[in-house]
Amino acid sequence: MDQTDSQEQRRSNRRATAAWFCLVVAFELVLAASLGLNRPLSGDEQHFVHTVQQFATGLNLPLLRSYEEMSGPLPFMLYAGWARLFGTHVASLRLCSLLIALLTHMMLWCWLSSVLDKPGKVWFASLLLLLNPYMAYLSFYVYTDMLAMLGLALALWAYACRRPVLLSAGLAVAVLSRQYLLFAVAATGVIAAGQMWRGEKAGRQMLAAAAVSLLPLAALVALWRGLSPDNQMKSLYVDQMLSFHPTSLVVYVACVALYTLPVLAWRWRMLLADRVAWVSAGCIGWAYLLWPVRASQVSITAGFQTVGVFHRLLKLLTDSLLLQDAAWCAFWVLGLVLLIHVARDSLRRLVAQRWDQLQYWNVMILWFFAVMPLSYLHWEKYALPLLPVLMARLLADGGRLEA
């Protein structure tokens, strides 16, 4: 009977995965048909495509040292390889973006299926990620972020399934695409060190995987003499790099609450029960008056007056700065509740020496907020890699994962 139930469960999982694959493909077809593969270049896509074309003409050390971007070279190398096969015209490159997005959504589905206890939760989280405006945008246009998401998704799945080689590969892909995903490597290292402290063999394997994943980036750091290519853009931003920006912290705390709001609504009882988190958030929330959400100086210099889609929507809905700040402040306080709740749970697990899956997500969330305020630039979309982790953390059945 147990074997029959197991076989039926596997068949059910395969059917669900096939249905999700078809849904993502259909979504991308609608996206491509409605936007048009040959539409004019959009936003940062203009200089990203130019860099891809440079890489497609031939990769060499001088180019790798000083290409005019701030992010890692892996996405440009991948797009360039695609361009050599199928051409450098924009329609071809956007097809590559759609393929990367498909792989990313399938990888996220596999990971969520492995850590969440009910199919409804998997569908809920997966649909929220699919319909996220930034995920949709990055699925179509030629950007570097989706490959970073794919690497992170692979790393999350590999950690859940205890596959150290794939974990190392996923983390390497993530940080070679977007350097700020170092927060995921740091979290892996912390959890692995904790497991080693308890004498767990898996801890040594995971720590080695995290260390190996950093080797390609370390070589690039030596080549660049810093965390980004040695170019004119770097010289413009060098004064603001690796310094703490309180407004960035406010933006990202608010954004994680904003973009996980449906999940927070699902788990409202759990959050409402944490009175310490609410009281603490209420005491800290006034700090918004000191550091309200505003575009960074770098963005203003480049001609942008907002931090992303939601900020632009607020400005369209009302010209009142007071109402805009009221909306942002509400999400800031809600985000603080979530962050404090996670921090308290992480502290309890640290005291109890429980270095499990939930603690891995806790530490990853905390590392994100330790790393991101150091950036010279804050955008809503930079919170994107944390969203699947937060959703899984809120939806997970703790007993199942601890077992």
Mean pLDDT of 328-347: 96
Of 228, 247, 262, which marks where a domain is finished?
A: 228
Q: What are the helix and strand counts (H, E) for the chain?
A: 23, 0
Of 187, 206, 228, which marks where a domain is finished?
A: 228
Q: Please spell the DSSP secondary structure of 273-318, one letter per residue.
A: T-HHHHHHHHHHGGGGGTS-----HHHHHTT--SSSHHHHHHHHH-
Buried/exposed 188-197: b ≥16 CB within 10 Å, e otherwise: bbbbbebbbe
Per-residue confidence (pLDDT) for residue 241, from 0 to 100: 59
Do 209 and 290 fall within a single domain? no
User: Distance of CA 324 to CAs 264, 295, 306, Å?
Assistant: 22, 13, 11
User: Distance of CA 151 to CAs 145, 297, 364, Å?
Assistant: 10, 30, 15
Do 193 and 238 fall within a single domain? no
Model confidence over 77-101: pLDDT tens digits?
999 999 999 999 999 999 999 999 9
Do 220 and 297 fall within a single domain? no
Do 329 and 184 fall within a single domain? no
Q: How far apart are CA 134 and CA 186, in angstroms?
A: 25
Do 190 and 297 fall within a single domain? no
Per-residue confidence (pLDDT) for residue 242, from 0 to 100: 65
User: What is the average pLDDT value for the chain, to the nearest integer?
Assistant: 92
Per-residue confidence (pLDDT) for residue 402, from 0 to 100: 44
Residues 6+ apart with CB under 8 A from 289: none
Do 58 and 203 fall within a single domain? yes
Of 209, 228, 247, which marks where a domain is finished?
A: 228
Do 213 and 285 fall within a single domain? no
Q: How far apart are CA 64 and CA 301, in angstroms?
A: 27
Q: How far apart are CA 380 and CA 311, in angstroms?
A: 9
More confident residue, 5 or 336: 336
Task: Give CB contacts under 8 A, 24+ apart, made by 217-223.
Answer: 217/72, 217/172, 217/175, 217/176, 217/179, 220/64, 220/72, 220/73, 220/176, 223/61, 223/64, 223/65
Per-residue confidence (pLDDT) for residue 4, from 0 to 100: 64
Helix (H) or strand (E) holding 284: helix 275-284
Residues listed for the chain = 403
Do 255 and 144 fall within a single domain? no
Do 132 and 146 fall within a single domain? yes
Q: How far apart are CA 24 and CA 189, in angstroms?
A: 33
Q: How far apart are CA 9 and CA 1, in angstroms?
A: 12
Do 217 and 307 fall within a single domain? no
Count of domains forming the chain: 2
Quickly state the pLDDT bin for 49 (edges 50, 70, 90).
very high
Q: How far apart are CA 137 and CA 73, in angstroms?
A: 21
Q: How far apart are CA 19 and CA 305, in angstroms?
A: 41
* pTM of the entire predicted model: 0.94
Per-residue confidence (pLDDT) for residue 306, from 0 to 100: 93
Q: How far apart are CA 399 and CA 403, in angstroms?
A: 6
- Give the range among 36-40, 297-301, 371-375 with minimum mean pLDDT: 297-301
Per-residue confidence (pLDDT) for residue 240, from 0 to 100: 57
Does the pLDDT value for residue 400 go beyond 90?
no
Quickly state the pLDDT bin for 202 (edges 50, 70, 90).
confident
Q: Copy the structure tokens of residue 124.
A: 């809920």
Q: How far apart are CA 335 and CA 329, in angstroms?
A: 10
Model confidence over 217-270: pLDDT tens digits?
999 999 999 888 988 876 666 555 567 889 999 999 999 999 999 999 999 888
Residue 109: half-sphere exposure toward Cβ, Cα within 13 Å: 23
Q: Copy the structure tokens of residue 284.
A: 């800290």
User: Distance of CA 389 to CAs 234, 263, 323, 361, Å?
Assistant: 30, 12, 30, 6
Model confidence over 342-383: pLDDT tens digits?
999 999 999 999 999 999 999 999 999 999 998 878 999 999
Model confidence over 119-153: pLDDT tens digits?
999 999 999 999 999 999 999 999 999 999 999 99
Buried/exposed 37-75: b ≥16 CB within 10 Å, e otherwise: beeeeeeebeebbebbebbbeeeeeebbeebebbbbbbb
Do 11 and 127 fall within a single domain? yes
Do 158 and 241 fall within a single domain? no
Q: How far apart are CA 307 and CA 296, in angstroms?
A: 8
Does the pLDDT value for residue 201 go beyond 90?
no
- Domain range spanning residue 135? 1-228
Task: Tell me whether residue 117 is exposed, middle or buried, using C-beta atoms within 10 angstroms of its C-beta: 0 to 12, 13 to 18, 19 or more.
Answer: middle
Does the pLDDT value for residue 300 go beyond 90?
no
